[in-house]
A and B are shown apart, each in its own frame.
Chain A
Amino acid sequence: MLKLELHQVGPIALNVQLHCAQGELLALVGPSGSGKTSVLRAIAGLLDVEQGRVELGDAVWLDTARGVKVPAERRPVGMVFQHYALFPHLSALDNVRLALPRSADGRSGKDAAHRLLQDMQLDGLAARRPHQLSGGQRQRVALARALARSPGVLLLDEAFAAVDQPTRQALYDELIKLRERVGVPIVMVTHDLREARLLADRMCIIEAGQTLQDGPPEQLMSRPRNARVAALVGLRDIHAGVFHKAGPGQARLRWGEDQAGLDLHTADKGRLDDGTPVRWVIAGEHVQVHLRPPEGPNAVACTLERSRSLGEITTIECRLQNAPHALLHLELTTRYARQLALVPGSPLFLQLAPQGIHIMPVKNP
């Protein structure tokens, strides 16, 4: 288990607490300049922090309180950099070989480096220098090099950002296979939410050097802690509303902040007072699209504003009839969208599952 706690005021403000279990893939997600890469560099020992503690299992790599600081070169870390950072004057083989432990010199080192390259489907490219390789091949060499030290932690810094989409997909597959072989904590920095959802067991949202929330991607997408997290995990529709109690365990959510609006049924978990202004979200999987008014709670009449087909997925934008300022964006399979024969201006009904409505308090409503 990798555990870390970092605190500093400047030059890069950090206030981060994280853990990542053996075999787990943790994605650090946040906007540019949020401090994600700094966290990774602090784990690797490439960034000095004012106060902190980094430990892997029983090994303490950093403990500022006790004056412990293991230098970067002595931390068993495999790191893949955003721009590969391959040594340009060395062949793919020598890039990997240089990272092998010093005990693996000579013939055994060469064989080990060849095996690592083979594992990454780089047979026949061992003699090539980085500038003679494609982006995807360079990234594979970088991965092979990161694994050469049999690292206790694998750190990926925007590792897939600089390659084209098909190559990225192939590298994702590679990483998924790699996880089966290498059971170490993997910490990945990305600004690509799709990538994080696809690959990560847990996501940690960081902004301004602060961890805002961490948890499984589905949890963060459906139950963000606050409106900021909701925005950072890419939820487009963060609605305003007013929370009203409506009997034991029941609540009424007024959609919008004005009196005229739409009431939705939801659960009362006893955490909010009556009349509290809130923000709320609902994940797409909790919304059903109908052409006729459905039975049951929270059916809202809408008009289709626009739809856009993106291959297998079609996104639709719906405007509420009772609250014209409110918009909902949904993703449907293109096949289903065709079945519904939706055209702009079509009336339709959305049913919002009460348990899918996630209410968040607002500090400054």
Chain B
Amino acid sequence: MDWQALRLSVWLALATALILLPLGVLAGRWLAGSRHPLRPLAEALLALPLVLPPTVLGYYLLVAMGGASPLGQLYQQLTGQTLAFSFSGLLLASLIFNIPFALMPMQRAFEAIPAELYDAARSCGLSPWRTLWHIELPLAWRGILSGLIMTAAHTLGEFGVVLMVGGSIPGETKTIAISIYDRVQGFDMQAAGLMSATLLTVSLATLLSTAWLTRRRGPGPRG
């Protein structure tokens, strides 16, 4: 078992989920309530990572982070390090390829709140902030949590984008998925099997917990 790769994967998954939490909540809430004509385009762009082959997404991210790109140059000026093939670069890529996994369940959860409850909140004198805090988040928490779990699980298993953007630098960008690949290449089938079983268990637990969250809806939103 490559504990270092597992630790790095868990850390990457947690950081990705935590950073996407506020962004997903804000964007999901905006998309759920928006009638902006550009909303379908925004939704399509944000869902792109779902349908793009990971290597294609990884390629574009690598180009965007490379030393020749404005972003790569800015990062290098600020930190003295390259963005590509670093943990920061890997985290940035992870944030981007996980957007739909975090956003979609959150957006659906906000969309499921009946419009009448928003009206009731306003006529009760609640400001938008108090409405978010007292009404929307308590009603949408299952979707939000579901988005976080999906994000974390997806991060643990991502291979193509990680390999393109991060390579396989132990302790920096070598995640458990890359490590499994390396072990198979080195004919260490026992370690590969153990790590694969770990990821399988995590994936199964994720799907079960998501199903449990979606099923246990509690009182209907209508009241």
Nearest to B119 among chain A residues (CB) is A46
Is A85 within 8 A of B120, CB to CB?
yes
Question: Contacts of B220 on A, CB cut-off 8 Å?
Answer: 88, 131
Name A128-158 residues within 8 Å CB distance of B.
Answer: 129-131, 138, 145-146, 148-149, 155
* Binary flags per residue of B13-28, CB closer than 8 Å to A gives 1, else 0: 0000000000000000
- Assess A129 versus B219: contact at CB under 8 Å? Given A85-B116, A85-B117: yes
Q: Is B123 an interface residue (CB 8 A)?
A: yes
- Assess A89 versus B219: contact at CB under 8 Å? Given A74-B125, A101-B125: yes
- Among A87, A101, A131, find the residue whose CB has the most chain B CB atoms closer than 10 A: A87
Is A99 within 8 A of B125, CB to CB?
yes
- Assess A87 versus B119: contact at CB under 8 Å? Given A74-B125, A99-B125, A129-B219: no
Question: Contacts of A75 on B, CB cut-off 8 Å?
Answer: 123
Q: Is A77 an interface residue (CB 8 A)?
A: yes
Q: Give bound CA distance, A19 to B134, whole Å.
A: 35
B104 shortest CB reach to chain A, Å:
22
Q: Give bound CA distance, A53 to B15, whole Å.
A: 51
Interface size on A, residues (CB 8 A): 32
Q: Give bound CA distance, A99 to B126, whole Å.
A: 7
Question: Contacts of A101 on B, CB cut-off 8 Å?
Answer: 125
Question: Contacts of A99 on B, CB cut-off 8 Å?
Answer: 124-125
Is B223 within 8 A of A138, CB to CB?
yes
- Assess A148 versus B123: contact at CB under 8 Å? Given A88-B220, A131-B220: no
Q: Is A295 an interface residue (CB 8 A)?
A: no
A195 shortest CB reach to chain B, Å:
21
Say what secondary structure dominates the interface of chain A.
mixed
Question: Contacts of A73 on B, CB cut-off 8 Å?
Answer: 121-127
Nearest to A96 among chain B residues (CB) is B124
- Assess A77 versus B221: contact at CB under 8 Å? Given A85-B116, A87-B117, A98-B134: no
Question: Contacts of B135 on A, CB cut-off 8 Å?
Answer: 87
- Assess A130 versus B223: contact at CB under 8 Å? Given A72-B122, A73-B127, A89-B138: yes
A238 shortest CB reach to chain B, Å:
37
Nearest to B116 among chain A residues (CB) is A85
- Among A41, A73, A79, A86, find the residue whose CB has the most chain B CB atoms closer than 10 A: A73
Is B219 within 8 A of A85, CB to CB?
no
- Assess A131 versus B124: contact at CB under 8 Å? Given A81-B119, A88-B139, A89-B139: no
Question: Contacts of B139 on A, CB cut-off 8 Å?
Answer: 87-89
Of the candidates A45, A84, A98, the one whose C-beta lies within 8 Å of that of B223 is A84
Q: Give bound CA distance, A44 to B121, whole Å.
A: 12
Q: Give bound CA distance, A78 to B123, whole Å.
A: 7
Name B116-157 residues within 8 Å CB distance of A.
Answer: 116-117, 119-127, 134-135, 138-139
Is A87 within 8 A of B123, CB to CB?
no
Is A81 within 8 A of B120, CB to CB?
yes
Is A149 within 8 A of B125, CB to CB?
yes
Q: Is A245 an interface residue (CB 8 A)?
A: no
Is B219 within 8 A of A148, CB to CB?
no
Q: Which residues of A contact B (CB under 8 A)?
A: 41, 44-46, 71-75, 77-79, 81, 83-89, 98-99, 101, 129-131, 138, 145-146, 148-149, 155
The 9 closest A-B pairs by CB, nearest first: A130-B223, A99-B124, A85-B120, A88-B223, A72-B122, A86-B223, A131-B219, A79-B123, A85-B116
**16 A-B contacts, Cβ less than 8 Å apart?**
A44-B123, A72-B119, A73-B125, A81-B119, A83-B222, A85-B114, A86-B223, A87-B139, A88-B220, A88-B222, A89-B139, A98-B126, A98-B134, A131-B220, A149-B124, A149-B125
5 more contacts with CB within 8 A, not counting A81-B116, A81-B119, are: A73-B124, A79-B120, A85-B119, A87-B134, A89-B218
